[in-house]
């Protein structure tokens, strides 16, 4: 199973990715991890990427897709792979298509903005340990204090409403064209295109998981 998994901040993509990789016995691949591994390996593509990154420049799509090709040729990708949030742009998707990198399914986990803001805005963290709470879903025994140490909990900047709304806006701007690209491809050439599904990310964890599996295993 070769999957592209998309989902905005707070959609639960990481949790569902773990379910998918466990069910199909495939690795989860993110471009960040892939770049770091390629640089460590000293491969030609990795060396080229390092030069660009050290100079503060963006790594071109051709190199990124080349790294994807290198990575999915590894033995652990024999049964497929899960691409985490990649491709991020239409040019990246076009390069993958031109190079014949087959994708079986594109799945986007969707959650309404207000639910995402509630999920992320209610999170509180104990800085010393990383223990995480939620004002509504997993509150501490004493409001605002860590259960173990009694020390104050904090809200991370990434979880503030203004930040979350900005991240959601950026996600939509970047991802909507990708979804539309794959949907048009599926309409024009369903035999070669990946299946495209939008999965409701609200509800119990197991229910969302079953929706994702149903999208990956239609019929």
- Residues 23, 88, 131, 160: which is the catalytic one? 88
Long-range Cβ contacts of 206-210 (<8 Å, 24+ apart): 208/12, 208/16, 208/109, 209/16, 209/19
Q: Tokens in use for 104? A: 């079986």
- Residues 131, 167, 195, 198: which is the catalytic one? 167
- Residues 99, 156, 172, 187: which is the catalytic one? 156
- Residues 13, 97, 209, 211: which is the catalytic one? 13
SS3 18: helix
Quote the CA–CA distance of 183 and 213 in Å, as a whole number. Answer: 19
- Catalytic (active site) residue 88: yes
- Catalytic (active site) residue 172: no
| Total Cβ atoms within 10 A of residue 63 | 18
- Residues 123, 124, 209, 211: which is the catalytic one? 123
- Catalytic (active site) residue 167: yes
Quote the CA–CA distance of 195 and 179 in Å, as a whole number. Answer: 11
| Rounded alpha-carbon distances, angstroms, from residue 160 to 33, 117, 118, 122, 168 | 27, 8, 10, 9, 12
Catalytic residue IDs: 13, 88, 123, 156, 167
């Amino acid at each position: 199973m070769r999957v592209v998994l998309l989902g905005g901040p707070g959609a639960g993509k990481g949790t569902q990715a773990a379910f998918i990789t466990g069910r199909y016995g495939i690795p989860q691949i993110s471009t960040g991890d892939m770049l770091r591994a390629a640089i460590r390996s000293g491969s030609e593509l990795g060396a080229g990427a390092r030069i660009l990154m050290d100079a503060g420049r963006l790594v071109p799509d051709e190199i990124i897709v080349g790294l994807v090709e290198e990575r999915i040729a590894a033995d652990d990708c024999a049964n497929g792979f899960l691409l985490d949030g990649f491709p991020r742009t239409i040019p990246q998707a076009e390069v993958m298509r031109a190079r014949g990198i087959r994708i079986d399914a594109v799945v986007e986990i969707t959650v309404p903005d207000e639910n995402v803001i509630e999920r992320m805005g209610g999170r509180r963290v104990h800085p010393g340990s990383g223990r995480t709470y939620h004002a509504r879903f997993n509150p501490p025994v004493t409001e605002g204090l860590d259960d173990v140490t009694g020390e104050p909990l904090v809200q991370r900047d990434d979880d503030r409403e203004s930040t979350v709304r900005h991240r959601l806006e950026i996600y939509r701007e970047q991802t909507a064209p990708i979804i539309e690209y794959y949907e048009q491809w599926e309409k024009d050439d369903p035999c070669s295109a990946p299946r495209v599904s939008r999965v409701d990310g609200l509800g119990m964890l197991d229910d969302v998981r079953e929706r994702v599996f149903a999208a990956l295993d239609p019929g």
